């Protein structure tokens, strides 16, 4: 159980760091270059980020927290369930409903960088905050084991 709980913590930390990095450095950096270059760079990033390592972290975080909650037989279970729920809504749902459609629009050329970057970054920051919150919730769960 402890190993699963620690894996849960690491996965949440990795996802929080990924989203944080985009909001705090990648997007501001892209905003400082020519719009066409920024769009091309983001299209490349969006293609390259779709790899097995992303899916392990992105899908693994809420699933590991859910599994830890099921296996924990004490009050820690509630913290893991809360981590799974916050992650599922704040990361998975936001990604699928907002960020991915925007990525697709940028790729298709139907959304300009001027419209894309501020909105995408705002919602990415929501994902970062949700993942930091779910990381903290998982951390409390680990401490309660």
pLDDT for residue 73: 82
- pLDDT tens, residue by residue, 16-59: 999 999 999 999 999 999 999 999 999 999 999 999 999 999 99
Q: Cα separation of 136 and 34, whole Å?
A: 38
Q: Which two tokens stand for residue 135?
A: 């990381």
40, two tokens: 């091309």
Spatial neighbors of 46 by CB under 8 A, at least 6 apart, are 103, 106, 107
CB 91 within 8 A of CB 15: yes
The residue length of the chain stands at: 145
Q: What is the pLDDT of residues 102-120, one digit of tens each?
A: 999 999 999 999 999 999 9
Residue 21 has what pLDDT? 98
Contact 99, 50 (CB under 8 A): no
Task: Give the Cα separation of 34 and 40 in Å (integer).
Answer: 10
Distance CA 83, CA 11 (A): 11
Residue 74 has pLDDT above 90, yes or no: no
For the cut 90, the answer to whether the pLDDT of residue 3 exceeds it is yes
The pLDDT score that the predictor gives to residue 37 is 98
Structure tokens at 2: 């402890």
The arithmetic mean of pLDDT across residues 70-98, rounded, is: 97
Contact between residue 59 and residue 12 where contact means Cβ atoms under 8 Å apart: no
The answer on pLDDT for 78 being more than 90 is: yes
Model confidence pLDDT, tens digit, residues 119-141: 999 999 999 999 999 999 999 99
Calpha distance 119→132 (Å, rounded): 20
């Amino acid at each position: 159980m402890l190993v699963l709980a620690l894996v849960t913590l690491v996965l949440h930390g990795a996802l929080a760091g990924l989203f944080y990095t985009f909001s705090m450095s990648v997007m501001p950096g892209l905003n400082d270059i020519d719009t066409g270059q920024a769009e091309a760079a983001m299209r490349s990033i969006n293609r390259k980020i779709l790899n097995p390592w992303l899916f392990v972290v992105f899908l693994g975080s809420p699933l590991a927290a859910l599994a830890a909650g099921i296996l924990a037989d004490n009050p820690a279970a509630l913290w893991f369930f809360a981590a799974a729920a916050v992650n599922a809504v704040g990361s998975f749902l936001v990604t699928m409903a907002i960020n991915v459609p925007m990525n697709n629009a940028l790729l298709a050329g139907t959304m300009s960088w001027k419209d894309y970057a501020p909105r995408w970054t705002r919602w990415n920051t929501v994902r970062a905050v949700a993942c930091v919150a779910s990381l903290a919730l998982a951390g409390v769960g680990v401490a309660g084991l």
